[in-house]
Chains A and B, each alone.
Chain A
Amino acid sequence: MTGLLEVTGLTAGYGGVRVLHSMDLTVAENEIVAVLGANGAGKTTLLRALSGTVKAGGGISFAGRALNGTSAARIARSGLGHVPQGRGTFTALTVEENVRLGVISRPASTRAQADGDLDRIYDTFPVLREMRRRPAGALSGGQQQMLALARALMARPRLLLIDEPSLGLAPLTSADMFSVLARLREEWSLSVLLAEQNARASLKVADRGIVLARGRVVAAAPAAELAADAGLRAAYLGESPDGLTGVSS
């Protein structure tokens, strides 16, 4: 089986410091893969390497095309969306302007459906419709995360990289966020690579999970298996074996 995203021997770093060491990874069509790992394990760098915002070596193939050396802007236009850590909303622009900027990377064939998609997005996130004339900077953390997701969806991506969506959100809000992800996957036929520290919540929506430590994949397994492996979580995710630090639902 060939996946939508095929990564082999990926290396990446900043300046002289290498952060990712020869990493292999596959994401299949319509699959949600959780990337787990402690702070500094390399989750964000992995996502940045894939979206071209960090220089990377090794092989990245997306939908059958090699992405190495392609500019971030071009990668975005090839159907790979990236919701960065901290959301990256344009705070001075209105909510609707933010969402509309997503259209830029849309495949030309789907341009005509942009307005329909905007309605669908507003139906999924009604709060964004209410606030559409407000500056994005006025939104709460959870609303900004929705906005970032909505903006990425407007590009009609085939694969969405999402970096720590639960960061800084209240437990209830972040639980909402994860259930929305499962829904979006169905409605938009998305694949998702989800980097998260919150292993419990993300493994609930993911099909598979990989665990990173010091820039290497140390475990890869179906989500249910990973979720059940308390020893692994204790070793790499900084959870106590009884799982008390995970967000309980």
Chain B
Amino acid sequence: MTELLQQTVSGLTTGLVYAALALAIALVFQGTGTLNFAQGEFATLAAFVSFALSTAGLSWWLIVPLLVVLAFVFGAGVERLLVRPVEGSGPLALLTVTAALLLGSNAVVALIWGTDVRSMASPFGGAVYHVGPLTFTAQAIGGGALVLLAMLLCGLIFRFTPLGLRLRAVADNPDSARLLGISTGVMLAVGWGIAAAVGAVAGLVAAPTLGLSPELMTNALLLALAAVTLGGFSSRLGAVVGGLLIGVLSNLASRYVPGIGGDLQLVVPFAVIFLVLLVRPQGLFGRASTVRA
């Protein structure tokens, strides 16, 4: 029983990373209408940048906000420069651009930092806490809190600020938004920026546990895609809940289902994508009408 609880809790903490990446993917999807295959690679890039900054001696108190700002600018810039030119060319061209971004940003990271797996010290230290029968590392608690904070902030921006209202309006009906004086182009870039910033936090938190390498978020991308599919592409909350569910599910599966261990955990998200598309394509929280054809 304790074992099950411990597995669930650690599934939740890894699930938070998938949730943040899934949220980023959902944000881009709601604005631009495409899956950003490169979202994971953007997060990997962010993790390496934060590693470089911390090696250079910067304090984590400085690195985290700096990283968020850098990631925002990067994401918005990518939308503006590389995605905008094919915006009117249909979903196929958009998706292909994100595939190119995946290939490209993976190559750039590997060229700059090499392909070896590096260990990155946790910004939260190596302490271990015991609560009743459960064990928590400082990394799990601190990282979880950081990701949760990032997602909460993102949610608050969308729900309660004038900027968020505009972003939601553009996602809902871009033509009408334009008629009301909203610059949809700016909003799409902002959407990509916020997505990259949330993803950057996910990358930063994942790196100490998974080890820093160009493949840091390759598997996480698949898990996040499964999370978004499960939660529904049209729902931000759904993406987050989906991420947590996927985290717990794949953790429990690798512990209790014989044969599904290690990397093979990825069978779980794959099965989830397959089944959800087959049974309930709009996902748990999604509205059928907003699924883009």
Contacts and interface: CB of A to CB of B under 8 A. Distances in A.
B165 A84 contact: no
A93 B175 contact: no
Most buried by B among A71, A74, A92, A102: A92
A191 interface: no
Contacts of A71: 183
B54 to A, nearest CB: 40
A72 B178 contact: yes
Contacts of A81: 179
A81 B172 CA distance: 19
A76 B169 contact: no
Contacts of B177: 90, 101
Interface in B150-203: 165-166, 168-169, 172-173, 175-184
A97 B176 contact: no
B165 A100 contact: yes
Contacts of A53: 175, 178-179
A151 B287 CA distance: 24
B165 A72 contact: no
A204 B287 CA distance: 41
A81 B169 CA distance: 17
Contacts of B115: none
A88 interface: yes
A91 interface: yes
A51 B165 contact: no
Contact of B168 (A82, A90, A104): A90
B180 A104 contact: yes
Contacts of A101: 165-166, 169, 177, 180, 182
A44 interface: no
Given A100-B165, A101-B165, A104-B166, A93 B180 contact: no
B65 to A, nearest CB: 29
Given A97-B165, A100-B165, A101-B166, A92 B290 contact: yes
Contacts of B176: 84, 88-90
A105 interface: yes
A185 interface: no
B56 to A, nearest CB: 42
A72 B175 CA distance: 9
A53 B169 CA distance: 17
A73 interface: yes
Interface residues of B, number: 19
Given A71-B183, A101-B166, A104-B166, A91 B178 contact: no
A44 to B, nearest CB: 12
A76 B180 contact: yes
Contact of A91 (B165, B172, B175, B180): B172
Contacts of A90: 168-169, 172-173, 176-177
A71 B168 CA distance: 21
A155 interface: yes
Contacts of A77: 181
B173 A88 contact: yes
Interface string B126-148: 00000000000000000000000
Interface in A119-158: 151, 155
B179 A88 contact: yes
Given A88-B175, A93-B172, A73 B165 contact: no
Contacts of B180: 76, 101-102, 104-105, 151, 155
B169 A72 contact: no
A113 B180 CA distance: 18
B172 A92 contact: yes
A82 B179 contact: yes
Given A97-B165, A100-B165, A104-B166, A72 B179 contact: yes
Given A53-B175, A88-B173, A155 B168 contact: no
B166 A73 contact: no
Contacts of A97: 165, 168
Contacts of B181: 73-74, 76-77, 104-105, 155
A73 B182 contact: yes
7 smallest beta-carbon distances between A and B, as pairs? A105-B181, A88-B176, A76-B181, A90-B172, A77-B181, A72-B178, A82-B179
10 contacts: A73-B181, A82-B179, A84-B175, A91-B172, A93-B169, A101-B165, A104-B181, A104-B182, A105-B180, A155-B181
Interface of B: 165-166, 168-169, 172-173, 175-184, 234, 287, 290
Given A53-B179, A89-B173, 20 more contacts: A53-B175, A73-B178, A74-B181, A76-B180, A77-B181, A82-B179, A88-B175, A88-B176, A88-B179, A89-B176, A90-B173, A93-B168, A93-B169, A97-B165, A97-B168, A101-B165, A104-B181, A104-B182, A105-B181, A151-B180
